[in-house]
């Protein structure tokens, strides 16, 4: 599995990991098996959140990784409504309990909320100090929000911004990716398949998939991770998991990339950050 350094952290992580939103809709034993299979396939970044299934998804993840915790880079997220200094500490404790682990690798604010970012950042930083999480970050933050978060930091750095990124929404390429690259913040793209269906592929892009002997979804993943953005597709089917893991090793040529980028262009002007 193709892996690269995760921002400044010193961790080398696979470019394709695993999402878990709505995995509670799959029978529990199959969901647990899917997550474990994903790890065996090298997709060791597991993304979850207190919001998913009202905590049930964190419990499923906890069950899946109970004996393989040290092989996993575990990411969870706090709801903005819980993101006061005390609220974030309580939320993290609840998540750790459900996940059946003593620490997270990365804890993110799920999206910008009403509580002052300075207080949220203080809460997040305190969780690093108390070893509840190794790294902290944000999600759904545009460059303006990122500036506010960076100004609030005292002791830690932002390791990651998790944002929407798929062939039908390449908006983050305009402002967010350049900003994060300058500040050494890893970009983790969520919903790489647009949550459900891919856009229709024109014949020119179909040809590229044929040449690489890969599926449309594999081609989409290979394109999205081409410049070091981490992707976290959610899959509960074994076949999908295998497909997604293998996509990290597809070597697109510069001509392939131009062709795909032309078929699925980034927006021609600045627009609000996309969010699901
Ligand atoms: P997604 O990964 O874009 O798409 C998931 C769907 O694609 C599922 O229906 C899955 O089916 C299917 N799929 C996966 N691999 C496939 C393959 N190789 N071939 C055919 N179908 C395939 O959607 P997502 O769950 O919205 O996004 C991924 C993760 O990002 C989430 O699970 C979550 O962890 C994270 N996320 C974060 C935020 C945020 O605000 N930070 C928001 C949304 C999502 P099966 O399950 O049947 O395999």
- What residues contact residue 212 under an 8 Å CB cut-off, 6+ apart? 218, 219, 222, 250, 252, 256
Ligand 1 geometric centre to CA of 55 (Å): 18
pLDDT of residue 240: 98
Q: Which residues contact 89 (CB under 8 A, 6 or more apart)?
A: 123, 126, 127, 132
- Could you tell me if residue 39 is inside a domain? yes
The pLDDT assigned to 196 comes to 85
Q: Which atom of ligand 1 is nearest to the CA of 77?
A: 41
pLDDT, tens digit, 9 for 90 and up, residues 114-136:
999 999 999 999 999 999 999 99
Tell me the pLDDT band of 244, cut-offs 50, 70 and 90: very high
Indicate if 190 belongs to the active site: no
Residue 164 falls inside a structural domain: yes
Per the structure, the complete domain to which residue 119 belongs is given by 3-263
Rounded to whole angstroms, how far apart are CA atoms 155 and 121? Answer: 10
Domain assignment of residue 272, yes or no: no
Confidence at residue 201, expressed as pLDDT on a 0 to 100 scale: 95
Q: Is residue 114, in this structure, part of any structural domain at all?
A: yes
Inform me whether the pLDDT recorded for 188 exceeds 90.
yes
Whether the predicted pLDDT of 197 surpasses 90: no
pTM of the entire structure? 0.98
Above pLDDT 70, what percent of the chain? 100
As a whole number, mean pLDDT of residues 1-9 equals: 95
Kindly state whether residue 270 falls inside one of the protein's structural domains: no
Q: Whose CA is nearest to atom 18 of ligand 1?
A: 240
User: Into how many domains does the chain fold?
Assistant: 1
Q: 218-233: per-residue pLDDT in tens?
A: 999 999 999 999 999 9
Give me the mean pLDDT over the 19-43 stretch: 98
235 pLDDT exceeds 90? yes
The per-residue pLDDT for range 83-119, each reduced to its tens digit, is 999 999 999 999 999 999 999 999 999 999 999 999 9
Q: Of the given ranges (150-154, 192-196, 269-273), which has the lowest mean pLDDT?
A: 269-273
Looking at residue 28, its pLDDT comes to 98
Nearest protein Cα to ligand 1, atom 16: 240
Residue 275 lies in a domain: no
Predicted pLDDT of residue 89: 98
| CATH value at residue 32 | 3.20.20.100
Q: What is the percent of the chain where pLDDT is above 90? A: 97
What is the number of the ligand 1 atom nearest to the C-alpha of 243? Answer: 18
Residue 173 inside a domain? The answer is yes
């Amino acid at each position: 599995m193709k892996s690269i350094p995760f921002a400044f952290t010193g961790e080398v992580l696979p470019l394709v990991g695993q999402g878990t939103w709505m995995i509670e809709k799959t029978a529990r034993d199959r969901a647990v098996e899917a997550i474990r299979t994903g790890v065996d396939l090298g997709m060791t970044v597991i993304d979850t959140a207190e919001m998913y299934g009202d905590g049930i998804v964190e419990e499923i993840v906890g069950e899946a990784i109970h004996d393989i915790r040290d092989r996993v880079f575990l990411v969870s997220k706090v709801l903005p409504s819980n993101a006061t200094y005390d609220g974030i500490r309580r939320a993290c404790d609840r998540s750790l309990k459900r996940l059946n682990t003593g620490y997270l690798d990365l804890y993110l604010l799920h999206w910008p909320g009403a509580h002052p970012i300075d207080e949220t950042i203080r809460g997040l930083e305190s969780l690093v100090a108390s070893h509840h999480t190794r790294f902290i970050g944000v999600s759904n933050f545009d460059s303006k929000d990122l500036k506010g978060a960076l100004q609030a930091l005292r002791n830690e750095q932002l390791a990651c911004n998790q944002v929407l990124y798929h062939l039908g929404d390449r908006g983050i390429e305009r402002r967010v990716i350049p900003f994060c690259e300058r500040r050494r913040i890893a970009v983790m793209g969520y919903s790489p398949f647009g949550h459900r269906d891919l856009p229709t592929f024109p014949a020119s892009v179909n040809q590229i998939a044929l040449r690489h002997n890969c599926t449309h979804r594999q081609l989409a993943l290979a394109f999205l991770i081409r410049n070091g953005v981490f992707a976290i597709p959610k899959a509960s089917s074994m076949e999908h998991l295998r497909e997604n893991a293998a996509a990290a090793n597809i070597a697109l040529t510069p001509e392939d990339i131009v062709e795909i980028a032309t078929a699925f262009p980034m927006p021609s002007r600045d627009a609000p950050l996309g969010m699901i």
